Each structure stands twice: as C-alpha cells, then as structure tokens.
Amino acid sequence: MTFVPFCYTITNKHIIAESLYIIQGAVLGMLAPATYSILSRSVEVTRRGESTGLAAAVFTFGGGIGAAIAGYILSNTGSYDIVFYLSSGGILLTLIYVIFKIEKGKLDHSKCSSKKKAIKEEIKRYSLKYKIIMLCAIAFLGDYIYGCVVALFHFYGQEVLGATTSYTSSIISIYLFEFGLGAPIAWWVSDKIGNKRQLFLFFCVINITLLGLSFTRSISIFTTIIIVYFLGATFLNASLQSLLSEFGENPKIKGSVFGIVGASESFGYALGPMLSAHVYNFNKSWLFLSLLLVSMIVSIIYLLLYKKAKI
C-alpha cells in the first residue's frame, strides 16, 4: 500500500490507474483480517468493547481528517500529486510503527490440510458455526447500507428531497462525526448491558428509522431520523466488533474468522450500491425501502441464531 498512491503520480494511462485501483482494493481486503488480529491481541479483555470503540473512533476520525486535508490541498494547489505523496508517507509511517510497536503473533507452520482440519474441529468443539454466520450477516448489512448511502445519497437528496449538494455532503460528514464520537460510548454500553440486548435494541432502531426514511420528504424530519439511524448503526457495529474481538483468544481460528467477516463486509460494500442503483433507477422512492428489506432479513437471521450462537 505504501507504493500504490505514489504510483498514481507516475502514470497517465487509464488502464494502469485502473489496475492500481484493483490492487489497492485487494490489498485493503487482505488487511482487514490482519487489522482485526492486531486489535484482538491489543485490547484488554475486561474492557473489550471500550477498547475496540476507541480504535473505531480513531479510524473514523482518520478518514474525516484525511478527507479534509486532501480537500484543503486540492482547493489551494490543485495538485493531486501532493495528496498521493502524503498518502504514501502516512502509510510508510504506519508500517514503521506496526513493525516496532505491535506485538507479533506466533506463526503456525503446520500443513494446510491439518490447519483446515483443526479449524473445523475448533468450530465444531465450541459450536461457533452459528455465531460466525450471524457476524457475517451483520458485517454484510453494515457495509451494504453504508455503501448505498455514500454512492446514492447525493442523488436521492437532490432528486427526491429537493436538497442541495452541501446538504447531502453534510449528511455524510455528520455520519463520520457521529460515528467517531459515538463509537467509544457505544462500546462502553456494550460492556455494560451485553451484546445480546444491544443488538436487539438497535436492530429495532435501525429498522424503524429506515421505515421512517422511506416515507419522509421533509428535510428537517429526514435529518432527525437519519441522525438516529446513524446512532443505531454505530451501536450495532460496536456489538459486532466486540463479538469479533473474542475470537482473538483462539489462535487456531481467528485468522479464518477475521477473513470471512472482512470478506462479508467487502461483499456488502460492493453489492449494496450495485443493487440499490437498479432499485433507484426503477423507482427513486424505493431506495430506503430496499435497504429496510435487507435489514429485516438480517434481523430475522439474528433472531433465529442468537440462542444457538450463545451470545
């Protein structure tokens, strides 16, 4: 990843830039399970939710600050090269920090076939199959909806709500700001009331708010409802990360679980905008109803599996 942003500055061919973008996505996908693994080794067991909440808050603020810095540079210099140079420099500094500061995990040199067998036995031994399926469904839902909002809300806001571009951009910024500030609180709450209660409560919040967003055309009411939705999504993600970090205690399967859940997130982020775009082209007013349908399906999966998942 250190070299990808830099490579953008030395090519002017579309095919090379597109190839770099594909490589960037592939590398980020591979980084997801590694990030979960590092996080699981670093958090305090008794403060699992709070610790993962702080990590998520830093991640979100990083996205917001990075976008602000890039926007400032582009508005003043118009140079994309400077933005890419800074990106490569920031990634390099992060790499150096990880090498020297993060505790290294123990490598397992056993054969692939024996590792697969050990993973299956571990999942069967602790009855983790339903828990993994549920976590994948929740991870898929979060990025499915987020991908749709990022890709289509500018169009929905202007064409359905009659809002301005500044309003639609502000809504995305509010999400990042709310997630960044609310994440530590959400994870602290998950430590206090438990993930089962938190998941059930905020599935209800998300489904009710998506229903409200489907039929609301008043910008002031819409803004209030979507802020509540963002809050529900923040608390839902808190429980997901808290449950996922528990797998860090099991070195035999944590890499596989982190990879599967990370892939589910990426699949949701890729599939969401694609399907929602077809819905939007068919009927603009049905956008949030289609998101509600997906959310209801995942909610039903949770209700069917949470007892078997032993949350």
pLDDT in tens, 200-226: 998 999 999 999 999 999 999 999 999
Question: Which residues 6+ apart lie within 8 Å of 308 measured at CB?
Answer: 127, 130
What is the crossing angle of helices 165-193 and 48-77, to 10°? Answer: 160
Q: Which amino acid is at 124?
A: K
**Higher model confidence: residue 240 or residue 44?**
240
Q: How far apart are the first and last CA of the chain?
A: 36
Contact 301, 136 (CB under 8 A): no
Mean pLDDT of 86-108: 77
Distance from C-alpha of 147 to C-alpha of 268, rounded to nearest angstrom? 8
What is the crossing angle of helices 195-215 and 287-309, to 10°? Answer: 170
Kindly report the backbone phi and psi dihedral angles of residue 111, in degrees, each rounded to the nearest multiple of 5, phi listed first. -65, 155
Mean pLDDT of 292-303: 94
CA 71 to chain centre: 23
For residue 113, the model assigns a pLDDT of 57
Return the percentage of the chain with pLDDT > 90, whole number. 23
Q: Where are the domains of the chain?
A: 3-104+112-309
pTM beyond 0.85: the answer is: no
Contact 305, 196 (CB under 8 A): no
Distance from C-alpha of 132 to C-alpha of 258, rounded to nearest angstrom? 10
For residue 284, the model assigns a pLDDT of 92
* 212-265 pLDDT per residue, tens: 999 999 999 999 999 999 888 888 888 888 788 777 667 777 777 877 888 888
Contact 15, 41 (CB under 8 A): no
> Which of 138, 158, 137, 139 shows the shortest CA–CA distance to 287?
158
For residue 97, pLDDT beyond 60: yes
Q: What rounded mean pLDDT belongs to the chain? A: 80
Q: Which two tokens stand for residue 54?
A: 């702080």
User: 3-state DSSP helix/strand/coil percent for the chain, to nearest 5?
Assistant: 85, 0, 15
**Higher model confidence: residue 70 or residue 206?**
206
Q: Which two tokens stand for residue 95?
A: 């790499």
Angle at 1 between CA 256 and CA 237, to 5 degrees: 50
Question: Which residues 6+ apart lie within 8 Å of 184 measured at CB?
Answer: 50, 53, 54, 57
Architecture of domain 3-104+112-309: Up-down Bundle (1.20)
